[in-house]
């Protein structure tokens, strides 16, 4: 363990971190507005709010990544002003980010000790010593992971455990977890909650950032709700419920968009997407999909649940023509896709909103207008012969920006300048305006704020009603249940089951997600 001697002793229940009047501005936006916030040792304190409410900013300040413009911070009763995350770490504050900071090529043990290797003479690395220390730590806190495994070989849940080990190794007393369950199955989330409880019981303080209401109620002792950069309220978990929390979080009552169960898709509507016995390999050459067979009918929304990494992306890519299956057939409206190219899928009316928005779906430094014709640039009116008709690309871009209310930049500016929600609007604008027959949507509302989430969901429902077959791939179970007519689960590349939404429960889906079939 590192640096225990450097920190003042503090008793459980005693002060952990407290901030007063913290304000933080970025150009053009007031991220945090005079917030008071405090966390005690021995408690799990949830920081709740929608995207953009200021949760991450506040935590980054506590963790030393940002410096506040105003306000004071106290740790264990002493006033501090961190100049770097390293200083925060030395004071016992650590953070596990949503995007893990791990070195893929190194082993678990090496990642855990990186920066605090306790090297011997001449910087000699005591490998066996490190290995056993990490193994002991993982046993002690019930975080099962092989210290000798290389990080790139681990699943996302296991990688998260490595991050937790890192924090424990550095003897972090105040741990901040940023949306930790976003990448976990319900079962893994349960295990995480137990671990968190254990850590709190041993005298640590845990700050749990989330936008998921029921989780927060389940795991936290106290909950602080942020909205628009302000601390709305701090309540005890047992004194509140999800409905009041939602109201506090959003500030108003918004009926969540969901597909009216009454509009059941008739059995005789045309089958639009059909997969039969699809096998496919992943990027590393190992099989990613096994024997996938499913259908999506006209006007139907089929939701595919499952934690990322179980074949979702590969499934979407197979249908969109970006990945050639090793066996099986994909057909759209009865036409078999034989050429297995993106052009063929596009020609058959397949639209694909990938979950990797700026990487796959859009070219970040290309303008909005040009991105909007990324698939259709070679057809008239955008081209005549080999020549590109800039004027038509331009007016088309302007038109779509207006129609879909895309804000934040001009249509002839690079698309990367837009915020997350607007980037998603660009993607949807392009895909929807191409009048598709089938739409595959990968994590369409991830990272968006509440208002944007609802409008995207309404949009999906609308186009489904107009007859488009939608395959919705999402890790957000609430979304899957709200929008889908039928739900399937991908686990380890296999379809674990397909059920009508009304006939199944979160528990059953959770079991499928964990690989338990039946």
Partner 1 sequence: MNDNLIVVLLASAIVYGTPLLYAALGETLTERSGVLNLGLEGMMLMGAVSGFWLVQIFDGPAWLVLTVAVVVAALAGTATALIHAVLVVSLRANQIVSGIAITIFAGVIGLSSYLGTLGRVGGVPTKHHFRPLNLFGLKDTPILGPIFFNHHALVYLSWVFVILCNWYLYRTSLGLRLRSVGDSPETADAAGINVTRYRYVHTLIGGALAGIGGSVFSLAIALNWLDGMTAGAGWIAIALVIFGFWRPSLVMVGAYLFGGLSGLGFTLQTRQVRLPPELFAALPYLVAIVVLTVVSSSWARRRAAAPAALGEPYVRES
Partner 2 sequence: MRFERRLDTPRWLFVAVPVGSSIGALLVGAVVLLATGHNPMSTYFRLFERGFFSQSALSSTLRSATPLLFTGLAAAVAFRMRLWNIGAEGQLYMGAVGASGIGLALRGSSASVIIPAMIVAGIALGALWALVPGVLRAFFNTNEIITSLMLNYVARLVLTYLILDSMSPWRDQSPGATFPLGARLPPEASWPQFTTGLNFLAVALLASVIAFRVGAWARRPASDHSSRRPVVIVFTVGAVLVIVWGARALGPTIVVPFGMVLGLISAVLIWVLYWEMRFGFQVRVISDSVAAARYGGMSPKRKIVAVMLLSGGLAGLGGASQVGDFAHLLDPYGLPQSSYGYTGIVVAALACNNPFGAVLAAFLLGGLTNAGFSLRGLDFPLGLIGVLQGLILFFAIGGEVLVRYRLRLSQWRVHGDRGPLGDDPPDQGRSTGTEVTTGRQQ
Phi-psi region of 34 (alpha: psi -120 to 50; beta: other; left: phi over 0): left
Residue 262, burial from CB neighbour count under 10 angstroms (0-12, 13-18, 19+): exposed
Q: Where do contacts with partner 2 occur on this chain (CB under 8 A)?
A: 26, 29, 31, 51-57, 60, 64-67, 83-85, 320, 322, 341-343, 346, 352, 354, 356, 358-366, 370, 374-375, 377-378, 383, 386-388, 390-391, 394-395, 412-413, 416-421, 423, 447-448
CA distance to 35, 85, 291, 353, 440, per residue, from 330 (Å): 54, 50, 12, 18, 14
In 3D space, the residue among 241, 311, 259 whose CA is nearest the CA of residue 461 turns out to be 259
Q: Are 307 and 156 in contact (CB under 8 A)?
A: yes
**Segment contacting partner 1 by CB under 8 A, of 104-112, 341-349, 370-378, 388-396:** 104-112
Other Cβ atoms closer than 10 A to 190: 15
How many residues contact partner 1, by CB under 8 A?
26
Name 202's Cβ contacts closer than 8 Å, sequence gap at least 6. none
Backbone angles phi, psi at 71, to 5 degrees: 105, 165
Site membership for partner 1, residue 104 (CB under 8 A): yes
Which residues 280-299 are close enough to bind partner 1 by CB under 8 A?
284-285
Partner whose binding site includes residue 399, from partner 1, partner 2, none (CB under 5 to 8 Å by kind): none
The Cα–Cα gap between 352 and 361 comes to: 8
Q: How far is the CB of 166 from partner 2 (least distance, A)?
A: 19
Q: Quick one: tokens of 303?
A: 């939701």
Q: Which of 51, 312 has the CB closer to partner 2? A: 51
CA distance to 103, 143, 256, 442, 481, per residue, from 303 (Å): 33, 32, 17, 10, 8
Partner whose binding site includes residue 110, from partner 2, partner 1, none (CB under 5 to 8 Å by kind): partner 1
Binding mask 117-156 for partner 1 (x = CB under 8 A): x-x--xxxx-x-----------------------------
Element (H, E) at 442: strand 438-442
Q: How far is the CB of 225 from partner 1 (least distance, A)?
A: 24
Residue 356, burial from CB neighbour count under 10 angstroms (0-12, 13-18, 19+): exposed
Residue 338 CA to chain centroid, in angstroms?
A: 34
Binding mask 52-71 for partner 1 (x = CB under 8 A): --------x----xx-----
Q: How far is the CB of 434 from partner 2 (least distance, A)?
A: 12
106, 149, 156, 233: which one binds partner 1 (CB under 8 A): 106
Q: Which of 88, 275 has the CB closer to partner 2? A: 88
Q: Which of 119, 218 has the CB closer to partner 1? A: 119
Partner whose binding site includes residue 101, from partner 1, partner 2, none (CB under 5 to 8 Å by kind): partner 1
Partner whose binding site includes residue 391, from partner 1, partner 2, none (CB under 5 to 8 Å by kind): partner 2
8, 13, 77, 115: which one binds partner 1 (CB under 8 A): 115
Site membership for partner 1, residue 114 (CB under 8 A): yes
Partner whose binding site includes residue 281, from partner 2, partner 1, none (CB under 5 to 8 Å by kind): none
Partner whose binding site includes residue 284, from partner 2, partner 1, none (CB under 5 to 8 Å by kind): partner 1
Partner whose binding site includes residue 377, from partner 1, partner 2, none (CB under 5 to 8 Å by kind): partner 2
H-assigned helices in 273-382: 312-319, 342-347, 368-372
Element (H, E) at 288: strand 287-297
Pairing of strands 15-26, 29-40: antiparallel
Q: How far is the CB of 32 from partner 1 (least distance, A)?
A: 14
Q: Terminus-to-terminus CA distance in the chain, angstroms?
A: 45
The Cα–Cα gap between 185 and 169 comes to: 26
Residue 409 CA to chain centroid, in angstroms?
A: 25
Site membership for partner 1, residue 27 (CB under 8 A): no
Q: Which of 85, 328 has the CB closer to partner 1? A: 85
Q: Which of 10, 59 has the CB closer to partner 2? A: 59
**Segment contacting partner 1 by CB under 8 A, of 32-40, 45-53, 79-87, 298-306:** 79-87
Q: Are 34 and 54 in contact (CB under 8 A)?
A: no
1, 6, 103, 144: which one binds partner 1 (CB under 8 A): 103
Note if the bond before 381 is cis, omega within 30 degrees: yes
Question: What ranges make up the beta strands (E) of 333-432?
Answer: 335-336, 350-353, 383-384, 387-388
Q: How far is the CB of 270 from partner 1 (least distance, A)?
A: 40
Q: Which of 110, 485 has the CB closer to partner 1? A: 110
Q: How far is the CB of 114 from partner 1 (least distance, A)?
A: 5
Partner whose binding site includes residue 254, from partner 2, partner 1, none (CB under 5 to 8 Å by kind): none
Helix (H, G, I), strand (E, B) or coil at 276: strand
Q: Which of 244, 383 has the CB closer to partner 2? A: 383
Q: Quick one: tokens of 185?
A: 């199955």
Q: Quick one: tokens of 124?
A: 């000699």
Which residues 470-509 are close enough to bind partner 1 by CB under 8 A?
none
Q: Which of 111, 312 has the CB closer to partner 1? A: 111
In 3D space, the residue among 173, 176, 144, 168 whose CA is nearest the CA of residue 157 turns out to be 144
Q: Quick one: tokens of 120?
A: 């011997």
Q: Which of 15, 342 has the CB closer to partner 2? A: 342
Q: Which of 101, 238 has the CB closer to partner 1? A: 101
Q: Are 108 and 162 in contact (CB under 8 A)?
A: yes
Interface residue list for partner 1 (CB under 8 A): 60, 65-66, 84-86, 89, 101-106, 110-111, 114-115, 117, 119, 122-125, 127, 284-285
């Amino acid at each position: 363990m590192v640096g225990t001697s450097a920190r003042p002793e503090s008793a459980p229940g005693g002060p952990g971190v407290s901030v007063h009047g913290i304000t933080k501005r970025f150009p053009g936006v007031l991220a945090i507005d005079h917030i008071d916030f405090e966390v005690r040792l021995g408690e799990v304190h949830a920081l709740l709010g929608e995207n953009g409410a200021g949760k991450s900013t506040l935590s980054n300040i506590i963790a030393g990544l940002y410096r506040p413009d105003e306000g004071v911070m106290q740790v264990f009763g002493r006033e501090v002003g961190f100049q770097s995350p390293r200083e925060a770490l030395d004071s016992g504050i650590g953070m596990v980010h949503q995007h893990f900071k791990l070195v893929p090529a190194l082993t678990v043990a090496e990642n855990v000790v990186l920066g605090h290797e306790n090297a011997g003479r001449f910087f000699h690395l005591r490998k066996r010593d490190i290995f056993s220390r990490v193994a002991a730590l993982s046993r002690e806190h019930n975080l099962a992971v092989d210290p000798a495994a290389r990080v790139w070989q681990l699943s996302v849940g296991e990688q998260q455990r490595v991050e937790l080990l890192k924090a424990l190794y550095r003897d972090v007393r105040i741990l901040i977890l940023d949306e930790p369950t976003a990448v976990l199955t319900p079962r893994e989330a349960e295990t995480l909650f137990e671990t968190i409880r254990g850590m709190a019981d041993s005298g640590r303080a845990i700050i749990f950032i989330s936008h998921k209401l029921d989780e927060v109620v389940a795991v936290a002792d106290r909950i602080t709700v942020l909205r628009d950069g302000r601390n709305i309220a701090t309540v005890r978990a047992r004194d509140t419920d999800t409905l009041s929390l939602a109201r506090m979080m959003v500030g108003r009552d918004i009926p969540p968009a969901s597909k009216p169960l009454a509009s059941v898709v008739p059995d005789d509507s045309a089958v639009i997407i059909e997969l039969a016995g699809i096998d496919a390999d992943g990027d590393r050459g190992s099989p990613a999909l096994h024997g996938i067979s499913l259908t999506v009918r006209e006007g139907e929304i089929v939701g595919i649940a499952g934690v990322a990494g179980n074949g979702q992306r590969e499934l979407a890519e197979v249908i969109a023509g970006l990945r050639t299956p090793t066996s099986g057939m994909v057909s759209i409206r009865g036409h078999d896709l034989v050429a297995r190219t993106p052009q063929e899928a596009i020609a058959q009316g397949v639209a694909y909103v990938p979950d990797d928005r700026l990487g796959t779906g859009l070219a970040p430094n290309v303008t909005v207008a040009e991105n909007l014709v990324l698939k259709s640039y070679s057809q008239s009116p955008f081209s005549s012969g080999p020549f590109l008709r800039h004027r038509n690309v331009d007016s088309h871009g302007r038109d779509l920006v207006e129609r879909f209310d895309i804000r934040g930049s001009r249509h002839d500016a690079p698309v990367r300048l837009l915020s997350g929600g607007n980037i998603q609007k660009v993607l949807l604008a392009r895909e929807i305006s191409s009048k598709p027959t089938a739409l595959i949507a990968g994590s369409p509302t991830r990272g968006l704020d509440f208002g944007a989430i609802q409008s995207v969901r309404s949009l999906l429902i609308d186009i489904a009603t107009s007859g488009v077959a939608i395959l919705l791939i999402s890790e957000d179970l609430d979304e899957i249940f709200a929008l889908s007519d039928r739900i399937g689960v991908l686990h380890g590349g296999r379809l674990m089951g397909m059920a009508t939404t009304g006939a199944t429960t979160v528990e059953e889906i959770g079991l499928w997600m964990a690989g338990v079939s039946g």
